[in-house]
Amino acid sequence: FGLNRDKLEEAPKGALVTVSGILEQRTSAKDEPFVEVKTRVLRLHARPKGYDPSEGKEALAAWLKRPGNNVTSEAARRRGTWTHSQIEAWIRGEPTQKSFAFGAYWRNVRPWLEQHFVEALAIEKAVWPPRGFAGTLDCLGYCTWGEHPDALAIMDWKTSQRQRSGALLDDYFAQLGAYRMAAAYTYGITATRGVLVIARPHAGGPDVHELSPQQLDAAEAAFLRRLDAYYAMPDDTVAP
């Protein structure tokens, strides 16, 4: 598995941002034509109280910056980033760390990795399809978990104190669909299943979900509908 050098030359400067538990806001769709996967796009369906989607993209960014409106708390972002770093280090064969605050999540997911993880073709790779979004996929590779253990998987690592379901789980699936499509464009290789691994702060093992090719197709379509809805919003100007 190698980088597509032609596609690297096409990478939008300054638009390749991490999605590892960090919510980042864009200032203007005109100045920044690529939006990050895990920001406003995945939240458009929520219709949050106090925000009118007709107000435009910058108004949404301003709404998200208000106290109490962040989708993910700072503690959850730090927890996710730390756990991602341990998983990445383990995959690379590097030493892992201990954490009093977040160590339970790593202890929860490590046995699953030891039992099921096989090989990584790409870890924390930037992707930027021409549909107008960019991000960083967690892992493209193989694991033995699920109904199709020999199929190439797009894998995503999450952390959560509680079992996830409903709209938030749909967000995670949409993200996998977006990354599958983006990796196919950027690197010329297409995953045929998705594996979502959610580390929990207990000893019972992570919550794991497998998406079939058909489910990934549906997840990709759901993400693109949200992306189109975002770009259909009017541009606007919000005073600082």
Average pLDDT over residues 171-179: 91
110: pLDDT confidence band, cut at 50, 70 and 90? very high
pLDDT at 48 over 70: no
pLDDT score of 45: 43
pLDDT score of 164: 84
pLDDT digits (tens, 9 = 90+) for 213-240: 999 999 999 888 888 887 787 765 433 3
Distance CA 198, CA 162 (A): 10
Which of 69, 75, 60 lies closest to 25 in space, CA to CA? 60
Average pLDDT over residues 112-129: 93
pLDDT at 50 over 50: no
pLDDT at 89 over 50: yes
16: pLDDT confidence band, cut at 50, 70 and 90? very low
| Tokens 């938030």 belong to residue | 168
- Higher confidence at residue 57 or residue 224? 224
Widest distance between CA atoms in the chain: 53
Distance CA 155, CA 143 (A): 9
Average pLDDT over residues 32-47: 50
Average pLDDT over residues 187-206: 94
pLDDT digits (tens, 9 = 90+) for 146-167: 999 999 999 999 999 888 877 7
pLDDT score of 128: 82
pLDDT score of 42: 53
User: Which of 24-28, 107-111, 147-151 shows the lowest per-residue confidence on average (mean pLDDT)?
Assistant: 24-28
Distance CA 44, CA 230 (A): 7
Q: CA angle 183-189-190, nearest 5°? A: 75
Which of 208, 231, 211, 228 lies closest to 219 in space, CA to CA? 211
Distance CA 153, CA 208 (A): 13
Average pLDDT over residues 131-148: 91
Percentage of the chain lying above the pLDDT 70 cut? 67
Strands 193-199 and 153-159 come out as parallel
Average pLDDT over residues 63-87: 75
- Higher confidence at residue 166 or residue 43? 166
pLDDT at 33 over 60: no
Alpha-carbon distances, residue 6 vs 59, 84, 183, 186 (angstroms): 36, 29, 14, 9
